[in-house]
Structure 1
Amino acid sequence: MHKYITYRRVSTAEQGKSGLGLAAQNRDLYTYLTHYSGQPYEVIAEFVDILSGSDDNREELEKAIELAKKEKAILLVAKLDRLSRKVAFIASLMEDKKLQFKVACLPQADKFQLHLYAALAEQERDFISQRTIAALKEAKARGVKLGGLRDKTLKRNKVKKDNSVARAKALEPLIKPLRQQGMSYSAIARVLESTKAKTASGSTRWHSKQVARYLDILGLTKVPSLLLSSRRIQNETDVSIT
């Protein structure tokens, strides 16, 4: 029996757009389950977040991931960007040995291909951001008055971003040397738990994607090239010895 947990995400603005609404995601999930899943299968739980893709506080996704690992089920999403458009976040999910996830629209994709798609999704997000900024500048030049709820939203987002940067800086003395040693996100999460360091919500439980988020802020997602070279040399030495 193949067990699945489905996760769908939609923002208020996206609900009516073709290919992004909940109904469209349902169709993609159904197509995958009926044509690509091993038989028999069972969907044991469904989770939905209604928020922007730029919002990292996804309570339902957290629940879906935890349950998928606990039940040894497959986390199934319609599109990769429903999880995230951030490469670091997708990479953290791939590194989690206890988690399996599938993308309905990419049923045959392996981890390498998913990483490429994630990189393209991140590029698309950056392009949309720049396009929005340009459109606002043009509107302002035409005399359109900008403000209202948008100003409040921007201020709120800036506060959230500033808080995330502050937390990342506070953790930098601990997580930076660990990452420089080549530790995975999951391993660093375990170290943080052992030190009783607290997350943004005040919990002492850490997930690899939280570590990935802070390392991304600090620009430390990549393992140092010198460390990779030393590992390669060690592997070559081990082969020659055998």
Structure 2
Amino acid sequence: MQRYVIYTRVSTDRQGQSGHGLAAQERDISLFLETYSEEPWEIIGEFQDVESGKHDDRPELAKALDLVRRTPGSELLVSKLDRLSRKVSFIASLIEDKRVRFRVASMPYADTFQLHIYSALAEQEREFISKRTKAALAEAKARGVKLGGDRGSLREANEAARASADVFARKVGPMIVPMRNQGMSLGKIAEALNEAGQPTSRDGRWTAKAVSRVLDRVS
């Protein structure tokens, strides 16, 4: 029997209380178990942290990994790789740990080598997003926009956000426009981007609406 230790993570207390993000993780994990898992299977533990993926010393993750190490043949199961960690170094350390096996529900056929490569690419993408946002804010500031916390700066902050979205749209537009020109629906394009591991500007999963917003910006 295949045994799983389920681990989920939300970034804030508000997400945990509202279920935002958690429902999607549970859905992905259920889909994996129903469609891709070896049978029969058993869940021997479930753990959840409310903490940023930037921190790897999470108490519930430590408990989940401890249970996996104490249960030969078991696997840690997460919905997405970034729920486990946002650091390629941490993913690499788990891959090298002979007592730990883990699976990613949204990438059911990925082996450890592919997961390592994906985590490295995702880390690069997050660094790019951070730099892009800083660049957009710097451009707004250079144009005389005052960036601050008062209510009068809301318009300027929105302008900076739009500039950042424009930069991202120009980056992914060359991937999206050809698919749209071939007659693919917005939903199918979103599926293709998710399967390719391309995150949205907020490091999330694509929807038809998100694809539409990019097309509006590059059209």
Same fold (TM over 0.5): yes
> 1:90 aligns to what SS in structure 2?
helix
Which residue in the other structure is 1:2 paired with? 2
Which residue in the other structure is 2:11 paired with? 11
Which residue in the other structure is 1:124 paired with? 125
Which residue in the other structure is 2:159 paired with? none
The residue type equivalent to 1:74 in the other structure is E
Which residue in the other structure is 2:180 paired with? none
1:147-168 deviations in Å (ceiling 9; x for gaps): 9xxxxxxxxxxxxxxxxxxxxx
Unpaired runs of 5+ residues, structure 1, are 148-242
Which residue in the other structure is 1:33 paired with? 33
Within 2, Cα distance between the matches of 1:56 and 1:39? 31
Which residue in the other structure is 1:145 paired with? 148
Within 1, Cα distance between the matches of 2:145 and 2:51? 31
Divergent runs of 4+, >4 A: 138-141
Cα 1:57/1:114, change in 2 over 3 Å: same
Within 1, Cα distance between the matches of 2:55 and 2:92? 18
Question: Are the equivalent residues in 2 in contact too, given 1:7–1:47 (CA < 8 A)?
Answer: yes
Identity %: 58
**TM-score, L = length of structure 1:** 0.54
CA displacement at 1:68 relative to structure 2: 1.0
> 1:54 aligns to what SS in structure 2?
coil
The residue type equivalent to 2:145 in the other structure is R
> 1:98 aligns to what SS in structure 2?
coil
1:91-145 deviations in Å (ceiling 9; x for gaps): 1000000011001011111111111111111112212221332344356551121
The residue type equivalent to 1:45 in the other structure is G
Which residue in the other structure is 1:113 paired with? 114
Unpaired runs of 5+ residues, structure 2, are 151-219
The residue type equivalent to 1:88 in the other structure is S
Within 2, Cα distance between the matches of 1:15 and 1:34? 26
Q: Superposition pairs for residues 78-227 of structure 1, below 5 Å?
A: 78-138=79-139, 140=141, 141-146=144-149
Within 2, Cα distance between the matches of 1:136 and 1:22? 31
> 1:42 aligns to what SS in structure 2?
strand
- How many pairs were matched up? 144
